[in-house]
């Protein structure tokens, strides 16, 4: 079945992915839902009627199939501080770093913390994106450093 998000519904109180404390402060990935149909009896004959009858209506409901991934605020602040510290030190050095850089960019996008980063980290992040994009297009890494 097709899975979808329901942004109008607040996430369920769940464990932080870093420390395990219960929270719903920062939603990294929203919960996913699936639709299903259910038949509901909207009218029926009484128990003593000679002819038994039922009016049935089919309604569509949504059921949560995957919980939201959440992070508490203290872990959120620690991760931002860690990213502010580590991102400016990371350099793209070719094939050996493609998976790590891709994972880093995915984490920053998933967590939605780019607006929270300091200017050094933002500059380094944009340079990493350009380096990775150029590498995937086939440009050499050395030409970008010159």
My answer on whether 46 and 89 are in the same domain is no
φ, ψ at 97 (rounded to 5°): -105, 0
The domain containing residue 42 runs over which residues? 3-70
pLDDT band at 135 (very low <50, low <70, confident <90, very high): confident
My answer on whether 66 and 79 are in the same domain is no
My answer on whether 137 and 77 are in the same domain is yes
Total number of domains constituting the chain: 2
**Mapping DSSP to helix (H, G, I), strand (E, B) and coil, where does residue 33 land?**
strand
pLDDT tens digits for 3-29? 999 989 888 889 999 999 999 889 988
pLDDT tens digits for 45-68? 888 888 888 899 999 999 999 999
My answer on whether 60 and 81 are in the same domain is no
Residue 112 lies in a domain: yes
Distance CA 70, CA 96 (A): 31
My answer on whether 84 and 127 are in the same domain is yes
My answer on whether 54 and 92 are in the same domain is no
């Amino acid at each position: 079945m097709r899975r979808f998000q329901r942004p109008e519904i607040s996430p369920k109180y769940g464990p932080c992915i870093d420390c395990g404390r219960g929270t719903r402060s920062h939603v990294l990935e929203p919960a996913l839902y699936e639709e299903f149909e259910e038949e509901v009896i909207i009218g029926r004959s009484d128990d003593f009627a000679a002819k038994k009858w039922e009016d049935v209506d089919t309604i569509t409901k949504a059921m949560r199939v995957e919980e939201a991934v959440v992070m508490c605020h203290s872990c959120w602040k620690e991760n931002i501080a860690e990213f502010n510290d580590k991102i400016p030190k990371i350099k793209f050095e070719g094939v050996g770093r493609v998976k790590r850089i891709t994972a880093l960019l995915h984490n920053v996008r998933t967590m939605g913390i780019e607006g929270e980063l300091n200017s050094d980290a933002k500059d380094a992040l944009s340079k990493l994106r350009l380096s990775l994009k150029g590498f995937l297009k086939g440009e050499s890494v050395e030409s970008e450093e010159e």
